[in-house]
């Protein structure tokens, strides 16, 4: 009886099954690496600088695709490389972009002469901070081209651009989209 040209003669050998399993494991790892590198990532938030919007210990889902097609905009919650500690990622709100002028007047943030409506700060004042060693920030401050002015929503507990100056656009890694853990706090952010 002819079962066709490709009739199986039995189960694959053990070495062939092991090689197949290793190939699939490598494929899944490469796919996961590609997703984390180019598409999305979850971040654990270690500090209270964004409290009110993101609480200490929350897990935040951040996507990387939109910034392939557009630059960060004021209001976006962005993740970026810490200007002081290599390899550490911070999360803050973009307040202004290159060419815009930021001022702090009577506890309010003023961009290009207009006081911002910032309900996410829960009324906390936005005051100048003592800057990091070697950083000079004086107000009004014009954000250099290719840079962002970022601030934490918890203005009284955030080392941000008031402390380390504007951050390079090239240091931005993703856009915060949602709190995904704990489940009872899950919500879109922005």
Taking only the tens place, the pLDDT of each residue in 137-188 is 999 999 999 999 999 999 999 999 999 999 999 999 999 999 999 989 899 9
| Backbone angles phi and psi of 162, in degrees to 5 | -65, -25
Quick: pLDDT tens for 6-24.
555 667 787 777 776 767 7
d(CA 164, CA 138): 12
Domain of residue 99 covers 40-188
Query: Would you call 64 a catalytic residue per the annotation?
Result: no
Residue with tokens 């100056």: 165
Residue 106 buriedness (CB in 10 A; 0-12 / 13-18 / 19+): exposed
Closest CA to 180 of 41, 35, 32, 36: 41
Q: CATH number for the domain including 163?
A: 2.10.109.10
- Give the confidence band of 133 by pLDDT, cuts at 50, 70, 90: confident
Q: Indicate whether 26 belongs to any domain.
A: no
* Structure confidence at residue 108 (pLDDT): 96
* Structure confidence at residue 67 (pLDDT): 93
User: Could you give the number of structural domains in the chain?
Assistant: 1
Query: Would you call 130 a catalytic residue per the annotation?
Result: no
Q: Indicate whether 29 belongs to any domain.
A: no
Q: Indicate whether 132 belongs to any domain.
A: yes
Q: Indicate whether 21 belongs to any domain.
A: no
Q: Indicate whether 34 belongs to any domain.
A: no
Output the six-digit token pair for 27. Answer: 């494929």
Q: Indicate whether 12 belongs to any domain.
A: no
Q: Check pLDDT > 70 for residue 98.
A: yes
Catalogue the E-assigned strands of 6-146.
Answer: 40-44, 59-63, 77-81, 89-97, 101-105, 108-111, 114-115, 141-142
Among 49, 126, 158, 161, the one annotated catalytic: 49
Question: pLDDT: is 114 or 190 the higher one?
Answer: 114
Quick: pLDDT tens for 37-81.
555 577 788 889 999 999 999 999 999 889 989 999 999 999 999
* Structure confidence at residue 164 (pLDDT): 96
d(CA 60, CA 55): 10
* Structure confidence at residue 182 (pLDDT): 92
Residue range 80-94: average pLDDT? Answer: 93
Q: pTM of this prediction?
A: 0.80
Q: Indicate whether 167 belongs to any domain.
A: yes
Q: Indicate whether 52 belongs to any domain.
A: yes
d(CA 30, CA 161): 36
Among 64, 92, 126, 161, the one annotated catalytic: 92
Q: Check pLDDT > 70 for residue 128.
A: yes
């Amino acid at each position: 009886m002819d079962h066709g040209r490709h009739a199986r003669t039995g189960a694959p050998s053990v070495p062939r099954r092991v090689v197949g399993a290793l190939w699939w494991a490598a494929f899944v790892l490469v796919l996961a690496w590609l997703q984390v590198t180019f598409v999305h990532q979850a971040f654990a938030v270690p500090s209270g600088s964004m409290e009110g919007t993101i609480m200490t210990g929350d897990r935040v889902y951040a996507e990387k695709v939109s910034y392939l097609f557009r630059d960060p905009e004021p209001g976006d919650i962005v993740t970026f490389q810490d200007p002081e500690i290599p390899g550490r990622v911070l999360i803050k709100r973009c307040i202004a972009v290159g060419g815009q002028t930021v001022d702090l007047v009577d506890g309010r943030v003023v961009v290009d002469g207009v006081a911002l409506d910032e309900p996410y700060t829960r009324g906390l004042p936005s005051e100048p901070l003592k800057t990091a060693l070697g950083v000079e920030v004086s107000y009004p401050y014009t954000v250099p081209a290719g840079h962002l002015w970022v601030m934490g929503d918890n203005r009284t507990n955030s080392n941000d651009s008031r402390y380390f100056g504007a951050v390079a656009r090239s240091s931005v890694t993703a856009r915060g989209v949602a709190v995904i853990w704990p489940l009872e706090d899950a919500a879109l952010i922005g």
